[in-house]
Amino acid sequence: MRVLLTLSLIVCIGPAALCTHAEEFNTILFQDEFQDGSLDKRWGSWKSDSIERDGVLVGITPKDADHPSVNSIDFPPQSDLEIAVSFQFHGSPSFSVMIRDLEYKGSHAGHICHVAVNPKSVTLYDGKTGIFRKDIREKRKAGEKLDAATEELLKQKTSRNTVKLDPGAWHNLRIRIRGDVMEVHIDDQLAGRLQSEGLAHATKSNMNLTTVDREVHYDHFALRAP
């Protein structure tokens, strides 16, 4: 575990002044400082060699895997969520924080939304009504060309943002979903914002840390509701 100073913040975004107090998300659904020497049994793993090592979660994809490492947490169904985690790149080019509802059948694997992070960009997705919507996912997987209307729809379901992160340094990520708005802060700076109807899905119940290749180190993980 690394020492982390927690700050109480007020964030105001846009002309309509969407203001979020960090302390509003004060119901802890799950948290982990990775101090037990072995990964908490509440973490699920799929195609993953991730381990707890030296007080952090080390995200590792097996060398022969055909999918990035997935480490997941189930939680009681929620609409609004806050996910906070510190991260440091250790060879991996990127990772994602993915939110799902495994009971929802309208998208691939119950995907609702996710945030993809690499040292140069942060991308926010409404997967429920965008890239993971079942009919769109099946066409993309089959290599079919999407029509112009669908391509335009996908642009509206995605927010791509340029950042400049030192891959060798620790960074603090905070994702907040309130209603149909998702905001991402890195090191207390707004890194991306997306407004889309799929984000308001009322029964989000599963969170994945998805690590591409090897390794990303994670610490100070917290999952909260209002």
Residue 114 identity: H
Rounded CA separation 171/112 (Å): 25
Q: Domain limits at 195?
A: 10-225
**Residue 112 domain flag:** yes
Residue 78 covered by a domain: yes
pLDDT of residue 18: 40
Q: Cα separation of 221 and 181, whole Å? A: 22
| Contact between residue 126 and residue 196 where contact means Cβ atoms under 8 Å apart | yes
Q: Among 12-26, 132-146, 159-173, whose mean pLDDT is lowest?
A: 12-26
**Does the residue 202 lie in any domain?**
yes
Q: How far is CA 45 from the centre of its chain?
A: 16
Average pLDDT in the chain = 92
Contact between 98 and 207 under an 8 Å Cβ cutoff? The reply is yes
Q: Which two tokens stand for residue 93?
A: 């080019």
Position 5 in a domain:
no
Q: Is 37 exposed, middle or buried (0-12, 13-18, 19+ CB in 10 A)?
A: exposed
202: left (phi over 0), alpha (psi -120 to 50) or beta: alpha
5 vs 58, more confident: 58
In this predicted model, what pLDDT tens digit does every residue of 88-131 receive, in sequence order?
999 999 999 999 999 999 999 999 999 999 999 999 999 999 99
CATH of the domain at 155: 2.60.120.560
Closest CA to 11 of 85, 82, 113, 115: 82
Residue 10 pLDDT greater than 60, yes or no:
no
38, two tokens: 């072995």
pLDDT higher than 90, residue 3: no
pLDDT recorded at residue 121: 99
95, 221 contact by CB (below 8 A): no
- pLDDT above 60 (res 14): no
| Residue 185 tokens, joined | 């802060």
Q: Which of 209, 211, 212, 213 is nearest to 223 (CA)?
A: 209
Task: Name the residue among 112, 140, 131, 137 with its Cα closest to residue 207.
Answer: 112
Helix (H, G, I), strand (E, B) or coil at 108: helix
What is the pLDDT averaged over residues 64-93? 97
User: Is 49 a member of any domain?
Assistant: yes
Q: Does residue 3 belong to any structural domain of this protein?
A: no
Number of domains composing the chain: 1
% of the chain at pLDDT higher than 90: 88
